Amino acid sequence: MMCGFGHGVGMALWTQICAVALAFQISPDGPLELAPRARPEAMRPATGAQPTLRVNASLVLIPVHVTTANGATVTNLKKEDFVLSEDGVRQTITHFAKDDAPVSAGVLLDISGSMKNKMGKASEAAEEFFKFANPEDEFFLVEFNERARLKVPFTEDWSEICGQIRQAKASGLTALLDAIHLGVAQMKHARNARKALVILSDGGDNFSRRNMRQLTETLIESDVQVYAMGVYDEDYRFKHTPEERNGPKLLDEVALDTGGRDFPLTSLDNLPNVGVQIARELRNQYILGYSPAATTPDGKFHRVSLKVEAPDSEAGLRTFYRRGYYAPAQ
């Protein structure tokens, strides 16, 4: 789902970060108010166009989702409850919002043979996810077995994607990593600053041309959160391939570093509920903004760490956020 980006993507991400800051109209002196988004056709980026905005000041924005130990979303935190560091140095959080900005999301549907008895529930899960869409969201669909294919390009008509999923037939091998690369590549055409991929798969990969190292680099350089609905068969009366056994670990690794989550499932009946949960998480995020003390455009990866220190909050809160970013090269 995406071919090799270089550190030029770092500059694209940096300009996206600043563009998001402008779209949110952030004020460091008070609560952030989200401005209504105009949607004239002229604002839609041309296909393949790259950002050309030049910036003199840096603002890093980190979307964060917080849950209790049992997975319930936490929505009552304040700016003072977060402690944020970059490369081990504590940063001052200057901007704070509880954000429900429009999303550009891609659904990656596994149609390999191992999903044959799971397609009906996968369709239900996708429909539940789309029910939480707002009018400014946009979506695309990638299907994959031994080859990843863009079936529906970006559209606001999610019913078109649901119709395609209902018709999908499962067969063949699994090229999951290639599908994720293709999904990231499609995000070059996204209209919204918030981007997410939602994977419906059992997590096995036995046919990708790309490897996990390449995928990790791709995801770090992109500004995309990955969520996964992992549909696993834990009935070990039957022999499982090494790829199937590695499926949960693979999806978990892919999701966590991007600030997303993997929702492992052993019962197909729970799949639609997970579609709802992912949609709600995308709608209930905090945005933390800070200006790094060192703003040299060094082209390097800067690691971000975050924790919650809320005096009135229960113990065991979990945070899901992007673990770092590439600064632009000089």
Q: Note the pTM of the prediction, 2 decimals.
A: 0.76
Q: Domains of the chain by range and CATH?
A: 8-35+48-99+288-326 (no CATH), 103-283 (3.40.50.410)
Among the ranges 34-43, 175-184, 233-242, 288-297, which has the highest mean pLDDT value?
175-184
pLDDT digits (tens, 9 = 90+) for 272-325: 999 999 999 998 999 999 998 766 677 788 899 999 997 776 678 999 998 888
DSSP 315: S
- Which letter, b or e, does each residue of 94-126 get, where b requires 16 or more Cβ atoms within 10 Å of its Cβ? ebbbebebbbbbbbbbbbbebbeebbebbbbbb
Residue 226 is predicted with a pLDDT of 96
Alpha helices per DSSP H over 189-270: 212-221, 242-256
227: Cβ contacts below 8 Å, ≥ 6 apart: 196, 197, 198, 199, 255, 260, 261, 262, 263, 278, 281, 282
SS3 110: strand
Q: How far apart are CA 307 and CA 43, in angstroms?
A: 37
**Pick from 32-41, 157-166, 279-288, 306-315: least confident:** 32-41
DSSP 298: B
DSSP state string for 159-196:
HHHHHHHHH----S---HHHHHHHHHHHGGG-SSSEEE
Q: How far apart are CA 37 and CA 21, in angstroms?
A: 13
253: Cβ contacts below 8 Å, ≥ 6 apart: 212, 216
pLDDT digits (tens, 9 = 90+) for 114-132: 899 889 999 999 999 999 9
User: Has residue 44 got a pLDDT over 80?
Assistant: no
pLDDT, average across residues 195-207: 91
